[in-house]
């Protein structure tokens, strides 16, 4: 169907790509439009096929998944990239998110988690495997805190309520959790989240968290 989510599979192991394809082909609303065996092939495939979501391996010969992610998100900003890796302490994970990825999952994620992640990033949400969220923050916060002075003035474009929502997003709170904290509906939170992202020129929640660390308002 024309409104299916178009997915590109990128992994240097054919068996891994085949396994992902079997999972996704069984799902309504998802279509695998192509495969690539390394980062360079992935960039060319995105240029030719214009997928909505890319499942991106990290460690591949030639161009790795981090560099490919950076090129793909610059070339086609509407394309969402989910970084996939075997290692829950992978030092490249945060690099992938900084490069523009909208999600990070482990390859041993359940099929339902993979499918949910694809649909979530296509909606504009961010997805980070719970097992690695704390590790990503641990890796990222010290470096960002050293390299960026606190600069809350960059939040001046936000209203007071939008600023509250942004700070809760930076803590990793979901829409439901934000709604509970602020005593508003989830639909209201969703509206505020959209305004926050547009106002700050951010693509998704992952970028919002990174931005919060960069300006020194998270992790302190």
Nearest to 196 by CA among 171, 164, 172: 164
Domain with CATH 1.10.10.10 in the chain: 148-214
| CATH code 3.40.50.300 for 148-214 | no
Whether the pLDDT of residue 88 is over 60: the answer is: no
Domain with CATH 3.40.50.2300 in the chain: 5-135
Q: Could you give the CA distance from residue 97 to residue 7 in angstroms, rounded to a whole number?
A: 19
Whether the pLDDT of residue 31 is over 70: the answer is: yes
Q: Name the band, by pLDDT with cuts 50, 70 and 90, for residue 1.
A: very low
Q: Could you give the CA distance from residue 9 to residue 39 in angstroms, rounded to a whole number?
A: 11
DSSP labels, 154-193:
GGTTS-HHHHHHHHHHHTT--HHHHHHHHT--HHHHHHHH
Q: Of the given ranges (49-53, 139-143, 173-177, 179-183), which has the lowest mean pLDDT?
A: 139-143
The superfamily in CATH containing domain 5-135 is Response regulator (3.40.50.2300)
145-183 pLDDT, tens digit per residue, is: 555 556 678 899 999 999 999 998 887 777 888 899 999
Q: Could you give the CA distance from residue 66 to residue 94 in angstroms, rounded to a whole number?
A: 10
Compute the chain's Rg from CA coordinates. 17
């Amino acid at each position: 169907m024309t409104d299916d989510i178009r997915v590109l599979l990128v992994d240097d192991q054919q068996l891994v790509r085949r396994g992902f394809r079997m999972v996704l082909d069984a799902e309504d609303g998802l279509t695998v439009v192509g495969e690539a065996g390394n980062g360079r092939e992935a960039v060319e495939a995105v240029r030719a096929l214009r997928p909505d979501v890319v499942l991106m391996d990290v460690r591949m010969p030639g161009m790795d998944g981090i560099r490919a992610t950076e090129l793909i998100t610059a070339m086609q900003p509407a394309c969402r990239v989910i970084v996939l890796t075997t290692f829950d302490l992978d030092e490249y994970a945060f690099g992938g998110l900084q490069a523009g990825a909208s999600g990070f999952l482990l390859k041993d994620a359940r099929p339902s988690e993979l499918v949910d992640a694809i649909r979530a990033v296509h909606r504009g949400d961010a997805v980070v495997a719970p097992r690695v969220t704390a590790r990503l923050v641990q890796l990222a916060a010290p470096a960002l805190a050293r390299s960026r002075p606190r600069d809350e003035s960059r939040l001046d474009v936000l209203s007071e309520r939008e600023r509250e929502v942004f700070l809760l997003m930076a803590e990793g709170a979901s829409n439901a959790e934000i709604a509970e904290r602020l005593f508003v509906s989830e639909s209201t939170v969703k509206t505020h989240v959209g305004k926050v992202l547009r106002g700050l020129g951010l693509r998704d929640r992952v970028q919002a968290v990174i931005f919060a660390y960069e300006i020194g308002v998270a992790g302190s």
